[in-house]
Amino acid sequence: MVTVFLIAIMMGLVLPAMNLGKGGSNDLDRAINRIRGAIDEARSRTILTRQAHQLLFYANRVVLLPERETSSLPGRVQVASVEVEGESGKAEELPRVLPFHPRGYCAKAAIVLKGDSTTTLLVRPFLLDQEERSGTYSLLQLTGANSAW
């Protein structure tokens, strides 16, 4: 009886953590985490080497330059657009570059990911703080007069 009780408690803890039935949003969460990891890695390597680095965004992967390390996005999640402050061209035209300056900071950026839903990852330049918002946002919307960003 005690064994059955312990098994029930363990299953109650393990099964919700598996997020069964939420494959699409799980892929989107993993994609956001991979991009955040790539941003953190680019910043760390830039500071360590004191050399400029870049993240190159393709529809289904992110490449760290100059090392050429690639991180593929999971499932059907794709980068829909990358808008970088000070860069010309359309945000939807991939590949797009997010440059990291030798002191470790990058330009403001809005990275839109599409899977089963759409999420915008906002990148702040000096703090390298990242925030995610459900939906599609542009830098103009985020940096307007009434924006705290």
- Domains, the chain, in order of start with CATH, read 23-135 (3.55.40.10)
Query: Rounded mean pLDDT of 94-102?
Result: 91
Give residue-wise pLDDT tens across range 69-90.
Answer: 888 999 899 999 999 988 877 8
Model confidence, pTM: 0.74
What percent of the chain stands above pLDDT 70? 76
Q: CA-to-CA distance for 12 and 127, rounded, in angstroms?
A: 39
What pLDDT is attached to residue 23? 46
| Alpha helices, DSSP H, located in the chain | 2-18, 23-49, 139-142
The Cα angle at residue 13 between residues 77 and 23, in degrees rounded to 5: 15
Q: CA-to-CA distance for 58 and 72, rounded, in angstroms?
A: 9
The yes-or-no verdict on residue 115 having pLDDT over 60 is yes
pLDDT grade, residue 111 (50/70/90)? Answer: very high
Give residue-wise pLDDT tens across range 51-71.
Answer: 999 999 999 999 999 988 888
